[in-house]
Structure 1
């Protein structure tokens, strides 16, 4: 800034801060470093006009810089820039026409400019350098250290060189604009591809945390340098905040940031505003003050500084009925362009799709919880029987919310004898569950208080299913267990079910063969019973086919894997731990699993 007189400072020049002019200047990609093309223009001016100093001077809001220069004294020659206090060229930007001064010390506009004393500028002739829209970016200037009467020929030559220099500037801007247009086109293509695949990507899981993680990784770094995803509880309060940063070294800072943000949103928080109003907020230019105003945790400001913030936008995540269930926040670091209307539209689209995915995930979780509660309510508590250790497990398929048809049961007869059963009703819906409940009750009603052989009990069960018109086809194993010497005597009948497995106390594993037809057939078959003895420490394992059945392999291979696992586990494993290990080993299960294990004490 220069002074017009003693004690009076010149008013700022509005043209210097014009955003369109500054954007055009930025698109030249020039700075205070030598550029051969513009140095050549400066040398031509020096030679043709016979001046000691010639400059290609570009002016921004705070300085002038020289991509082309010749004859500058030190330290300015090395710096290739000066503050505006030493700038004559800023006035060319202001008046937008050539400025020709035979002796600058005689002109009020510049007579106190520090360039006269520090750079020896006395005679000055500056021609505007313009972009395609006529905006003046700077000047091509000739400078002498003594008064000089500029001739028409010299000014015409300077004007011709300025026109050629402006053409070079415009070429730089055009190349930059073409590169930017190509980059934006590629970015738009990538965004469309991301949006096209987002529904499938988010729909590929019904787990909320997995869906949120996939969403965050899809947005960074394509849409922003880092992001936050905030989900709220039914009262609208932030329940979880997660995020992703493009720089893995910032993961720890981001983890701390999200942890604090869960309870650290202040009344003026932009995220809280979006959660409350459902309207997006965008700041094309932002800084740490935005963070400080919106939080009750000062540490968040320090973390945001390390994570980087120069612009941000936040959009709502909306579920059915435009109910706000969360927010997506995108943040750019310094050095990346600020967010614009196109970014906002893309983010809003993502917010809608994320709302559908999160809503579906939550609905699935609620339905699954209801199904599991219902399923477990149908499964009995195991009785305590002297001399017999019992353990049971039920686990629904990982990718369904339906109530299954797998079941187990164990109850004590009036004489103290144990009846154990396990079964599987075809189907995975409410009808299958209802049939399962009926079948389990039929087993109990048919067997309780009766001393018939197990094959007779199963045959009578066949007749009851047909006579009562229970709409089901099922498999089951029914067993009677009674004391026998030091161990147990087990009599069982298998109706189309995977065979029981016998794990001896010495670790030997075998299959208890003897599999008959299914339950519920139109013409009930003849049933056959089997018997075996369990010595102390021996274990009998009853299970449904979900433990051994896989879509990609025969069921015999699944049973062989189970036998190998049991053999490797050994005989000394506590019964509950054995059941847990069997379920853990069935990590690829595609069906419900029920287990019932009993061990002779």
Structure 2
């Protein structure tokens, strides 16, 4: 393990802030590598072309390196270093992006030991934050020569930094969940209830569905009925639901929900915010509901509620009150143990809310990254191009599906659709490499698609691009009144052709292996003469695959959608094809070329 003295400034108030250090401790980082962060560092190194890429997390006196590419020994093996070698600490202290062309010219950094021991000259780093906005570390790049970082490089670093931050927040949230489970082990019944509750909340990222499930679980187990309200950060009411253990009360529970939507429940939430702890009350004329929501109190009384327990829904890191869980019994006061359990229910509900928001943010970042890698389709005389990309409905990951089209100097048009295996940010980054290799190798060349795919195969292996991909590559050229289409298929679903008379051709050919797997000296080029007025359809398997059916059935379904649609607008055809997908468990890339 590397040790050195900490230079002046390493013990700054920001670095040693107790709340920040608690969040770092919850990550449980040691001196080992973390595969997820190593992958992100590798993506940064490849996309920005920097010799060193780092994911750092700073403790009180050490800098952890869960992800790194390019650090020399012994730092790369130790996965941690003293703050005297840390350039990232300046990002943590400032709390903002730091871009330095030459650290030797920067008075804050010119004496840093990383210049001598790591060869650091240029540096750029973006902060990684927890849910409370505390800066835990950085996603950073270093160069051993003076370098002016471009705006696009910094923008990419910021986007990937958001992904890193989301991962850190999720890990902290999981540790908080583990802490909650450990505290609950002393009460067997409580553990059973909270275990079922955790499973129910983890089963969906739809916060409304999760809170509805919470109410159904708690009603009859912890109280006669359960009412839940959740507020947005702005204070607006986000969710309301009510559940009773007796199905006969379902209609009244719905009435209570509707009344609550019209009532001002902010005073009820504020009452719990004052202490951040559950409040137990007997429902009387001076009771909590009567003071803050009298109409709700009357309805609650009609449902047989004499005792009330209001527990806050708390954010796992900030401890802020996001809403309330209201429990009510008829005739039976709540015990201290039930109050403790109610507090734990609110804590886990807050964890589910936070995870849902993190999921939404991470999915948004992933989709933005994926969309940034998709091209603007060219305007070509005689060809009307339309492309669609849709991520899978489940999960926050991006995938490796893509489409592309570009005009050649000889007047022909190249079309490509492919699918790199995997459903994560690494697959998306690899997809970007594969797509760019296709463009770079094919542009300006007159080779047939078969040899071009063969060259792509050799490039993937020679450049050690970790890709296993299916693809269709086609060249389209005008020939008199018709079009000549030549194409090659590497393990991909067959192209479809909608003819002017409304009939559909499936271009089945003998299967050839995926790209990036087995060496293959030659790949076959297939040729078709296509009349004007036809529509060529290229797509990925997310449009046709269904675990319960053969892929042939999915292709036949697309043919049914296309058949007779020669006169329909291309955008309408795209929408109909997307809507025909039975399940959205996979990404979908779709490219239509209407030959005018």
Query: TM bucket by the smaller chain?
Result: 0.5 to 0.7
Q: Which has the larger radius of gyration?
A: 1
Q: CA deviation at 1:582?
A: 2.5
Match of 1:320 among 302, 316, 322: 316
Aligned to 1:248: 250
Aligned to 1:207: 206
Alignment of 1:520-559 (within 5 A): 520-559=516-555
Gap change, CA 1:546 and 1:531, over 3 Å in 2: same
Report the TM-score, using the length of structure 2 for normalisation.
Answer: 0.61
Aligned to 1:478: 473
Partner SS, residue 516 of structure 1 = coil
Alignment of 1:267-306 (within 5 A): 269-287=267-285, 290-291=288-289, 293-294=291-292
Distance across 2 between alignment mates of 1:392 and 1:258: 45
Question: Which range is displaced more, 435-444 or 545-554?
Answer: 545-554
Gap change, CA 1:307 and 1:447, over 3 Å in 2: farther
Q: CA deviation at 1:231?
A: 2.7
Aligned to 2:215: 216
Gap change, CA 1:600 and 1:200, over 3 Å in 2: same
Q: Does 1:437 align with 2:432?
A: yes
Structure 1 unaligned segments of length 5 or more: list them.
Answer: 1-187
Distance across 1 between alignment mates of 2:286 and 2:560: 61
Distance across 2 between alignment mates of 1:534 and 1:258: 63
Instruction: Tell me if the contact between 2:391 and 2:588 (Cα under 8 Å) persists in the aligned partners.
Output: yes
Alignment of 1:116-155 (within 5 A): none
Q: CA deviation at 1:406?
A: 0.9
Match of 1:421 among 416, 433, 447: 416
Aligned to 1:163: none
Partner SS, residue 242 of structure 2 = strand
Instruction: Tell me if the contact between 1:288 and 1:309 (Cα under 8 Å) persists in the aligned partners.
Output: no
Report the TM-score, using the length of structure 1 for normalisation.
Answer: 0.61
Partner SS, residue 526 of structure 1 = coil
Q: CA deviation at 1:434?
A: 2.0
Partner SS, residue 353 of structure 1 = helix
Which string of whole-angstrom CA distances, capped at 9 and with x for unpartnered residues, describes residues 536-594 of structure 1? Answer: 44221111112222334443343344434444x74444322222232233242322221
Instruction: Tell me if the contact between 2:272 and 2:310 (Cα under 8 Å) persists in the aligned partners.
Output: yes
Partner SS, residue 488 of structure 1 = strand
Instruction: Tell me if the contact between 2:557 and 2:580 (Cα under 8 Å) persists in the aligned partners.
Output: no
Aligned to 1:122: none
Which string of whole-angstrom CA distances, capped at 9 and with x for unpartnered residues, describes residues 145-190 of structure 1? Answer: xxxxxxxxxxxxxxxxxxxxxxxxxxxxxxxxxxxxxxxxxxx998
Q: CA deviation at 1:408?
A: 0.7
Which string of whole-angstrom CA distances, capped at 9 and with x for unpartnered residues, describes residues 500-521 of structure 1? Answer: 1122233322211234332224
Match of 1:258 among 257, 260, 265: 260
Q: CA deviation at 1:597?
A: 1.4
The alignment yields a C-alpha RMSD, in angstroms, of: 3.0
Structure 2 unaligned segments of length 5 or more: list them.
Answer: 1-186
Question: Which range is displaced more, 453-462 or 244-253?
Answer: 244-253
Gap change, CA 1:331 and 1:197, over 3 Å in 2: closer
Q: How many residues end up aligned between the 2 structures?
A: 405
Q: CA deviation at 1:350?
A: 1.4
